[in-house]
Amino acid sequence: MNKLLLQFFALMMTVSASLTAQTNDFYDDAPTNPLKGSKKIIVTGEVAKEMTIDLNKLPLHSIMVKETTLTDSAVSFIGAYRYDGYSLYDILDKIVLKKKNEAEFPPIIDLYVEVTNEAGESVTFSWGEIYYPVNRHRILIATSVARIVPSKSKDLWPLPQQTRVVAGNDLITARNISNPVRITVRSLDSKYEIKKNMSPMFSEAMRICVNGKQRSSLTELPQTGGEMTYRTVFYGRGMGIHGTTPFTGIMLSDLLSGYYTLSPEVLQKGIAVIAGVDGYRAAFTLSELVNRNDQEEMLVIDRKDEQGSGRFSIFPAADFFSDRAIKSVMEINLLLPVGGSKWAIVVHGGAGTISRDRMSPETETEYRSMIKAMTDTGAAILARGGTALDAVERTIRLMEDSPMFNAGKGAVFTHEGRNELDAAIMDGSDLSAGAVAGVTDIRNPISAARKVMEASPHVMLYGKGASEFAATQGLEIVDPSYFYTERRYQDLQRALEDEKHGTVGCVALDMNGDLAAGTSTGGMTNKRYNRIGDTPVIGAGNYANNATCAVSATGHGEFFIRYTVGHDISALMEYKGLTVDSASRLVVKEKLVRAGGTGGVIALDCAGNISMPFNTEGMYRGYRTSGGDAGVYIFSDEPDRLLH
C-alpha cells in the first residue's frame, strides 16, 4: 500500500514538472499592461439621472481581438490583443432609462449610445448590440492590454497606451477610440406611424433610403449569391418561444453594400433604421450589419410564398432575443455621416465607328487621358459634397471646350458648313429640365441649358432666341467661327457621302442621393434644314429621375427620338421593375438594333449601378465612384457596366 502511494506521488511529480516546463498557454499571452486614463465614465442622455460610473466597482471581462485598419479602402492588420475591462452592458445596467418617445414607442430597440472620448471624438453602438447578443460583454472599456504573440514569428504588435473602447465583433477596427469619458443614450428621431394589430400585415416593397432620401424601392431581393439558412430558435424577451423553424435569406450586408462608402467614420457613426409597415422599428449600427468578424450575419428574408406575413423581414442572427426581428419591412434608412454616402459619375464622348484598327495608339492614349480627366473633374466635385447637377455641367463644359469631341468647340458641321449645337440637362430630384437647340454662338450650350432650366419658365429654347436669353444670363457669346476646326470640316467633306455622329454626355449621383443627366452635341455631320436631334429632347437623348435612373445618349438621333430612349429605360425600371442594366440593354441592344438605330447610352441609378451599352463598334466612356472604382473604355471588347 505504502509503496503504491509512493509510486503514485512520484508519477504526480513528473506530470506537474512537465506542465511547468511547457505550459498550455495556447494564446501565448504576453505580460498584461495597464492602460492610462480615467476609470470613471459619465452616462447621460435619455436617462432618469446623469450618473458617473466607477468602473472599478464592476466585474472585469476579457476579450481577444485582431485589430485592423482601413487604408485606401484596403484592410491591413495591426495586431492581436487580449483586453481586460468593463462591459458597456454592466455600465448601462446601473442607469434608469428615460426614453423620450416612451409613450409612443416603449420598446427599447430603437435606442443607441454614443461613446465620446476626451478629444471629443465619438462612436456609436446600438442598444441591441450591447444588450441582445448571444455572446454578451463583447464591447468593453479596456483598462489593460496584453499582446497575443505568435509562437514562432514572435511579432510584438504595437502596444496601446491609453484606455480605449474595444468593439470585440468588429472586423475593421474603427470604433476602438482612446480615453472614453462619456456615454450618451439616445433614441431614433425617425418617426413612423404605429399601427397596432395590423392584419394582414403586408409591405409589397422595401424602400432603401440614405439620410431619409429614397435610393431604391425593392420588390424582389437582388441575386447576391449569398443565400443562407440558419437553424435557430426564435425566442422573444416578452413572449418566449415563437418557433424553431429555420430561416433562409440573403445577407443584409450584401444588400446594403451599394449604399454607403466604406470609411472609418461611416463605421464609427453609421446607423441603420429598419422599420416595418406597422411602425415597429429598430436601430442597428452599420458596423454590426456590415463589419462583423463573427459571421453572425443578419438575414433579409423574402416571404413571398407565405400568405399574409408581409414580403420582407429581417432576422438578427446575432441576437439572443428576437425583438429586433422586423416583419413586413417597409424601409431601411441608413443614417450616414457627411461623406458616407455614395457618389458616382459616368461620361461618354460619343459612339460610332470607333475600332482599334482605325485608331492610332497616340489618338487612343489622348482620348483615354481626356476621358479620365473628365471623370476626375466631376468626381472631385461630388467627393466634396457638390451636387450632381454641378458635376454634370462642369464636366460637360470641359468636354465642350475640347476640340476632341463633337460638342462645343469640336462640333461637327452642317451641310451648309455651319455649326448648330444642341444640349440638355435634367435634375432627377424634381424632374426639372432645360435645353437649347440649334444654337450657333453660345460657347457652352450645356450652361445655357441649365440657365433655361433654372432661370426661365420654359424647357427648350432654340436658335437666336436661345442666344439672346443666354446673353441676358451673362453666358459667353462667341463668333460662330469659334467652332471651326479643320478636322471637323474635313469630316464634313467626307460625310457629304457618309454620315457620322458623336456627342458628349454625363450622368452623376451625388452624396445627397440626387441624380442628374446632361448631354451636348454638334448633332450629325452634314445635317440640313435646322435639323434638331435627340439631345435636347427630354426623354429621348437625356433623362433623369431619382426614382429610376439618369441617362445620356449618343447615336442616330432620329431613332432615339422615335423610341424615346431615355424615358423608355426609366419606364422599364419604373413599371416593369427592371434593373438599370437590363433596361438599358433591352433598349439599346434589342429595340434599337431591331429598328436600325445605332448608338449607345450611359445610365446610372441611385445605388450607383452603372450601365453603358452600345450597339456600334465603340463608345468613348468612363466612370469613377466613391468606392474607388474607375474605368476608361473605348472598344466593344472592354467592360460596359459596373454593378453592385
Q: Which three cell numbers stand for residue 55?
A: 468602473
Q: Helices 445-455 and 463-472: crossing angle, nearest 10°?
A: 80
**Single-letter code of the amino acid located at 630:** A
Output 133 or 533, the one with its CB closest to ligand ASP: 533
- Residue 108 per-residue DSSP state: G
- Residue 500 per-residue DSSP state: -
Range 99-123 burial, b when 16+ CB lie within 10 A, else e: beeeeebebbbbbbbbbbbeeeebb
CB of 586 to ligand ASP, least distance (A): 19
CB of 479 to ligand ASP, least distance (A): 23
Alpha helix locations (H) across 312-386?
A: 361-383
Report the phi/psi class of residue 216: left, alpha or beta, with left for phi > 0 and alpha for psi in -120 to 50.
beta
The answer to whether residues 338 and 385 touch, using CB atoms and an 8 Å cutoff, is yes
- Distance between CA atoms of residues 273 and 163, nearest Å: 30
Q: Would you say how long the chain is, in residues?
A: 644
Output 408 or 541, the one with its CB closest to ligand ASP: 541
Output 535 or 546, the one with its CB closest to ligand ASP: 535
Residues that bind ligand ASP (CB under 6 A): 350, 501-503, 521, 523-524, 533-535, 541, 554-555, 557
The answer to whether residues 521 and 504 touch, using CB atoms and an 8 Å cutoff, is yes
C-alpha distances in Å from residue 189, one per residue of 100, 111, 252, 283, 393: 10, 10, 23, 11, 36
Output 240 or 596, the one with its CB closest to ligand ASP: 596
**Single-letter code of the amino acid located at 2:** N
Output 395 or 521, the one with its CB closest to ligand ASP: 521
CB of 412 to ligand ASP, least distance (A): 9
- Distance between CA atoms of residues 287 and 307, nearest Å: 33
What H or E segment, with its residue span, contains residue 259? none
CB of 332 to ligand ASP, least distance (A): 39
Output 174 or 532, the one with its CB closest to ligand ASP: 532
Interstrand relation of 312-315 and 329-335 (parallel, antiparallel or unpaired): unpaired
CB of 551 to ligand ASP, least distance (A): 13
Report the phi/psi class of residue 396: left, alpha or beta, with left for phi > 0 and alpha for psi in -120 to 50.
alpha
DSSP notation for 20-75: HHS---TT-EEEEEEPBS-SEEEEEESBSS-EEEEGGGSPPEEEEEEEEEEETTEE
**Single-letter code of the amino acid located at 125:** F
Q: Which of 552, 519, 517, 520 is nearest to 407 (CA)?
A: 520
Of the residues 503, 554, 564, 598, which is catalytic?
503
CB of 554 to ligand ASP, least distance (A): 3
Output 260 or 614, the one with its CB closest to ligand ASP: 614
CB of 515 to ligand ASP, least distance (A): 21
- Distance between CA atoms of residues 97 and 99, nearest Å: 6
- Distance between CA atoms of residues 548 and 539, nearest Å: 13
CB of 343 to ligand ASP, least distance (A): 26
CB of 352 to ligand ASP, least distance (A): 7
The answer to whether residues 334 and 210 touch, using CB atoms and an 8 Å cutoff, is yes
Task: Give the 3-state secondary structure of residue 528.
Answer: coil
Q: Is 503 marked active-site?
A: yes
Enzyme catalytic residues: 503
